[in-house]
Amino acid sequence: MTRVEELQDIATQVRRDIIRMTNAVMSGHPGGSLGCADFLTALYFDIMDIETEKFDIDGKNEDLFFLSNGHISPLLYSVLARRGYFPVSELATFRILNTRLQGHPTNADGLPGIRMASGSLGQGVSVAVGAALSKKMNNDPKLVYVLTGDGELQEGQIWEALMYAAHNKVDNLIMTIDYNKVQIDGTLDEVLSLGNLKDKLTAFGWDVVEMQGNEMSDVLDKIKLAQTRTGKAKPVAILMHTLMGYGVDFMAGTNKWHGLAPNAEQAEAALSQLKETLGDY
Amino acid sequence: MEKPVFSEKKDTRSGFGAGLDVLGETNKNVVALCADLIGSLKMNNFAEKHSERFFQLGIAEANMIGVAAGLTIGGKIPFLGTFANFATGRVYDQIRMVVAYSNKNVKICASHAGITLGEDGATHQIMEDIGLMKMLPNMVVINPCDFNQTKAATIAIAEYEGPVYLRFGRPAVPNFTPENQKFEIGKALKLKEGKDISIFATGHMVWHAMEAAYELSQNGIDAEVINIHTIKPLDKEAVISSIAKTKCAVVAEEHLMNGGLGDTIAQLVVQNNPIPVEYVAVDDKFGESGKPAQLMEKYELTTETIIEKSRKSIQRKG
């Protein structure tokens, strides 16, 4: 089995987890979670240099990841558990009273792998910029990654952070935008168009790499390409083309499943398309 | 009672600047952030001497909160400074999620708080900030009374691990507490012992409370003055033991009556020992342009109002 195939298998199991977690509590956000599963799997299982055994919030000499679009928490929890931050069995507690796996991620309950709460949109890039500055001051050569939604770019704070990062040459930072062009109320162009996003990012002083976010080989290649573009006095953005709901045919490419959990029948139909590769939790 | 005296008039924001200067020399993890108000916040020295630890964010306060929260990852202790309005109300959700809920070691340092901001008027005069900040779980709220105390508080909060809101002001006010005092978070300071009424004051109003106590003493009323520099966590023991003796109180603050120190004290009083409480605070109004002293007069944040409300409180206890 090739490395790409191995990672695809992990991503498929992660997608099963997402369907099962959201179905179990009939809440949560499966659409964006499914769409970003390949990216986050690649990041945690192949790209990042991380310490999963002894989680430390400061993450010195580790790569760091921040999830800005916190609503895709089922994906993050599945990846963290599958990667060994906490027991896979804990995924069964998602969104249940007294869980550490809150609806949106938080460090408040000490869940290993989470360094900052997120969910109120538009804040993660600022946080990642701060963490990247901290690494520079500590002469820590590792990188900071942040994932944002595309609808999230409608929040003004994101553009404050983009401006700041470029002005201050925060070049140990890779921001990935989940460019699925869909948000809760419809497509970006229906709700509030981002116009030519690539040109906007470039105009804001960012070095932009485009990536096919649901093709594992391209995900690996382009994140590695982005890595080679760090340390050159510019922050780096990956414009990640994905399909919201990718991996389940009836959930893909629509805003319908942004924040809608599949019922038992729908979950069964979805799971029939996703092979159990690592064993369900 | 001796007539209260002060050494000189100095602005509390300069106390913040002086404290930050000390931290620049003593604590390498302290970093400072500002949103285009370096001079107003008295952060010039730190910015010049420690440029590698100083961040100019531009006029972008929301980003400043997020960057500060991110800087704590890796062990930095961010002190961010801007006007109180832009440090609280403008960025409430940011503070709520990435500072308070995430329990990060961020120090929100807010100048030009209250009505004494003066001529810029109501758009900049926030009198809701104590309420906004004290409602956030995990947030410590500190409002020191003069230059010396603000300097001491600035130095002290670097040693405390967790979110802090430090509130101070623009105008020069009497500097009357000891130089190089030790500042203990959450420990109220009894400035004058008394038996007839408890005057609880915070920030700029503490000096007026001392003046009021002196005037009252000339008329045979023995007031106790307690400086509540830390609004949260409140020194409950200090309040309860004082009112057990005096059986009535006045709370004085440069803030709205809604949400301020008065609310916090009233809550404690009704749960423990219901006694008359009077307020010297602004009653559900925005401010306006004017000189700080004129505004304090018009909005009845004065020594005279404390005296009047003290008499009323004493009368009510019968």
Judged by a CB distance cut-off of 8 A, whether residue B4 touches chain A is no
Neighbours of B193 (CB within 10 A): 12
State the virtual CA torsion across B277, B305, B242, B201 in degrees, nearest 10: 110
State the virtual CA torsion across A107, A110, A112, A113 in degrees, nearest 10: 10
Q: Give contacts of B80 with chain A, Cβ < 8 Å.
A: none
Q: What is the chain A residue with the closest CA to B57?
A: A164
pLDDT tens digit sequence for A248-278 = 999 999 999 999 999 999 999 999 999 999 9
Of the residues A115, A121, A123, A135, the best mutation for testing chain B's interface (the one with the most B CB atoms within 10 Å of its CB) is A123
Residue B159 one-letter amino acid: E
- Written in H, E and C, the secondary structure of chain B is CCCCCCCEEEEHHHHHHHHHHHHHHHCCCEEEEECCCCCCCCCHHHHHHCHHHEEECCCCHHHHHHHHHHHCCCCCEEEEEEEHHHHCHHHHHHHHHHHHHCCCCCEEEEECCCHHHCCCCCCCCCCCHHHHHHCCCCCEEECCCCHHHHHHHHHHHCCCCCCEEEECCCCEEEECCCCCCCCCCCCCEEEECCCCEEEEECCCHHHHHHHHHHHHHHCCCCEEEEECCEEECCCHHHHHHHHHHHCCEEEEEEEECCCCHHHHHHHHHHHHCCCCEEEEEECCCCCCCCCHHHHHHHCCCCHHHHHHHHHHHHHHHC
Q: What is the chain A residue with the closest CA to B68?
A: A130
Q: Give contacts of A125 with chain B, Cβ < 8 Å.
A: 66
Put simply, the answer to whether A117 touches B55 (Cβ < 8 Å) is no
Tokens linked to B194: 């008394």
Query: How far apart, in whole angstroms, are the C-alpha atoms of residue A78 and residue B181?
Result: 52
Put simply, the answer to whether B63 touches A117 (Cβ < 8 Å) is no
Judged by a CB distance cut-off of 8 A, whether residue A154 touches chain B is no
Judged by a CB distance cut-off of 8 A, whether residue A67 touches chain B is no
Q: What is the chain B residue with the closest CA to A64?
A: B73
Judged by a CB distance cut-off of 8 A, whether residue A172 touches chain B is no
Walk me through the domains of chain B, giving residue ranges and CATH numbers: 8-175 (3.40.50.970), 189-317 (3.40.50.920)
CA angle B66, B67, B68 (to 5 degrees): 90
Walk me through the domains of chain A, giving residue ranges and CATH numbers: 3-271 (3.40.50.970)
Closest CA to B113 of B135, B141, B140, B94: B141
Closest partner residue to B62 (CB to CB) among A117, A133, A160 is A160
Judged by a CB distance cut-off of 8 A, whether residue A116 touches chain B is yes
Q: Give contacts of B99 with chain A, Cβ < 8 Å.
A: none
Q: What is the value of pTM for the model shown? A: 0.97
* Full pLDDT tens readout for chain B, 318 residues: 999 999 999 999 999 999 999 999 999 999 999 999 999 999 999 999 999 999 999 999 999 999 999 999 999 999 999 999 999 999 999 999 999 999 999 999 999 999 999 999 999 999 999 999 999 999 999 999 999 999 999 999 999 999 999 999 999 999 999 999 999 999 999 999 999 999 999 999 999 999 999 999 999 999 999 999 999 999 999 999 999 999 999 999 999 999 999 999 999 999 999 999 999 999 999 999 999 999 999 999 999 999 999 999 999 998
Closest partner residue to B103 (CB to CB) among A108, A133, A163 is A108
